[in-house]
Amino acid sequence: MRIRVEAAAVWPGGEQGWWTPGQVTWSANRIESVGPLTGEAADVDRVIRVEDGLVLPGLLNGHNHAAMSLMRGIADDSPLMEWLTQHIFPLEAHLTSEDVYVGTLLSCAEMIRGGTVGFADMYFFVDAVARAVETSGLRGWIARGLVEADDPGGEKLAEAVEFAHRWRGRAEGRVVGMLGPHAPYTCGPRYLERVAESAKSADLGIHIHLAESWQEVQDSQQRFGLTPVELAARAGILQSRVVVAHGVHLQDQDRKLLAAAQGGVVHCPVSNAKLGNGTMDVVRARREGVTVGLGTDGPASTNTLDMFLEMKAMAWGQKLLHRDPASFQAVEALRAATEGNAQILGGVSGRLEPGAPADLIVVGTRGTHLTPVHDWSSNAVYAATAADVRYTICNGVVLMEEGRLLTIDEEAVRREAAARARALIDRSR
C-alpha cells in the first residue's frame, strides 16, 4: 500500500525549511519521498489531501508515566512530598495490571489525538504498558521503574531485562524495552552499578530522573560530594543509551558528561513549572553539546499529554530565563519534540526523509486561532494545539483520520478508565 499526503505545508525536520505546498509518500512503513508538491500522484493507492494542512514529523514524548492518567489532577497544587506520599503512593499501591493497561490506553488515545506517535514510559506492570502500546499502534520505549528498596535481591531488575527480551521484535518493532532506575536518591550507587551492568550486557537503554529539583542536587552533593549526573556517570549509567528526564539543575561538569553520552536530556517544562522545580537552561545545554528532547512527565502532575503545550512552554521558559525573545526560535521547539527525542530514544530519525519510518501528522490550519498564516513554524508552535491535529500516522498506519481514532475504541476506554479511577480511590480508602 502506497499512500501520499498532500498539504499546504510540509516541514521535514532538520535544517530544511517548509515546502508550501508539499507532499509525503510512503509504502508499507517507510517513507519513499518527501518534498514540494508537483504534479499528480502516480502509482499511489491512496491520496490524503488536506488543503489547509501542515505536515510535521510525528511528535515524540520523551518522558511519561502514561498510566497515571487514572490519577489526573488528584491533589494538584499540594506540596510535592505531601502529593506523593499522601495521595499518589497510596493509590499506586492498589493499582492492578489491568488498571495500568486501561490507564495507558487512555493516554495512548490522548497522544494519538495530539499528534504524538511514540513515547518513553517509566512505570510498573510493563507488560500491560506494552500491550496498550501494541494495541494503539504507537511506539513505546518502555522502562520498568526500579527503586532499590523494593528490589533487595535484584529480581525486579532481572524481570525488567526479561521483559525487554520478551518484547524485542514484537509489535512490528514498535515496543523497545529499557531499564528504569528511578533516580540516584532512590537507587544507591551499588544498585545503579548493577543496572548499568545489566544494560550493557543486555544492550538496553536506560531511562532515569536526574537533577529534577535543586534539593536533590544539594542532597547529592552533601552526601556523596557528587551531583546526581556525576553519581550516575560513576555507576556506569552513561555508558549505555540514556534518557535523562528533567535535568533542570545541571552543572558545568554534568553538561560535559551528558554531551559525551549517547542519549540526552528530556526537558519537561510544564511539569518542572507546575511542581515549582525551575527551568532547565536548554539554550546553554544545547550550546555545550547536550541533545535536548521534550516530554510531558506523567498526566497526574502535568494533567495532559499535549506536546503542543510543551513546545509553547519550552519556548516561553527559555525566553523568560534569558530575558530575550530572540533567545529561542519556534522551530527549535519543533526540533526538540521530533529529532531531539528521536536522537535520545534511538531507532527513529524524527525527520521526514526517504527510508525513515512513516511517522507523521497533519495539523489543520483552518481554525480561526490559526488565521492568517504568516509563519508556519510560529503557527505550529505558538498557535496550534493538540485539538488541531487531524491525522496521526505511525509506522505507515493511519491511527487517526479526521479526528476519528482507528485503533482504539475511545468511548469505551474513557468509560472504563473513569470506572477504574473511581474503584481505585474506593479501594485505597
Interactions with its own copies, residue window 241-270 (CB under 8 A): 270
399 binds its own copies, rule: CB under 8 A: no
Q: Which is nearer to its own copies, 46 or 369 (CB)?
A: 369
314 binds its own copies, rule: CB under 8 A: no
Kindly give the pairing relationship between strand 2-10 and strand 22-27.
antiparallel
72 binds its own copies, rule: CB under 8 A: yes
Angstrom distance (rounded) from CA 347 to CA 343? 8
Site for its own copies in 31-70 (CB under 8 A): 69-70
| Closest alpha carbon to 145 in 247, 260, 67 | 67
Closest distance between its own copies and the C-beta of residue 65, in Å?
16
> In the numeric block, which cell numbers belong to residue 198?
545489566
Q: Please, which contacts does 196-201 make with residues 24 or more away whose CB atoms are closer than 8 Å?
A: 196/235, 196/236, 196/237, 196/239, 196/240, 197/236, 198/157, 198/158, 198/160, 198/161, 199/237, 199/240, 200/236, 200/239, 200/240
SS3 sequence of 235-293: CCHHHCCEEEEECCCCCHHHHHHHHHCCEEEEECHHHHHHCCCCCCCHHHHHHCCCCEE
Q: Which is nearer to its own copies, 331 or 348 (CB)?
A: 331
Q: Which is nearer to its own copies, 278 or 346 (CB)?
A: 278
Q: Which is nearer to its own copies, 330 or 361 (CB)?
A: 330
Closest distance between its own copies and the C-beta of residue 268, in Å?
12
Angstrom distance (rounded) from CA 50 to CA 374? 19
428 binds its own copies, rule: CB under 8 A: no
113 binds its own copies, rule: CB under 8 A: yes
Angstrom distance (rounded) from CA 183 to CA 200? 18
- Where in 319-429 does DSSP place strands (E)? 360-364, 389-394, 397-401, 404-405
| Closest alpha carbon to 310 in 272, 350, 348, 255 | 272
363 binds its own copies, rule: CB under 8 A: no
The phi-psi region of residue 41 (left if phi > 0; otherwise alpha if psi is between -120 and 50; otherwise beta) is beta
276 binds its own copies, rule: CB under 8 A: yes
Binding mask 207-236 for its own copies (x = CB under 8 A): -------x----------------------
Closest distance between its own copies and the C-beta of residue 367, in Å?
8
- Figure out which of the listed residues 67, 109, 243, 265 binds its own copies, where binding follows CB under 8 A: 109
371 binds its own copies, rule: CB under 8 A: yes
96 binds its own copies, rule: CB under 8 A: no
Closest distance between its own copies and the C-beta of residue 25, in Å?
29
73 binds its own copies, rule: CB under 8 A: yes
Task: Count CB neighbours of 252 within 10 A.
Answer: 10
CA distance readout (Å), 72 to 95, 208, 237: 14, 22, 31
Q: Which is nearer to its own copies, 3 or 386 (CB)?
A: 386
Closest distance between its own copies and the C-beta of residue 366, in Å?
7
Closest distance between its own copies and the C-beta of residue 412, in Å?
12
Closest distance between its own copies and the C-beta of residue 310, in Å?
12
Total residues at interface with its own copies (CB under 8 A): 74
Residue 151 amino acid letter: D
Closest distance between its own copies and the C-beta of residue 344, in Å?
24
Q: Which is nearer to its own copies, 90 or 325 (CB)?
A: 325
Q: Which is nearer to its own copies, 157 or 417 (CB)?
A: 417
Task: Count CB neighbours of 394 within 10 A.
Answer: 27
135 binds its own copies, rule: CB under 8 A: no
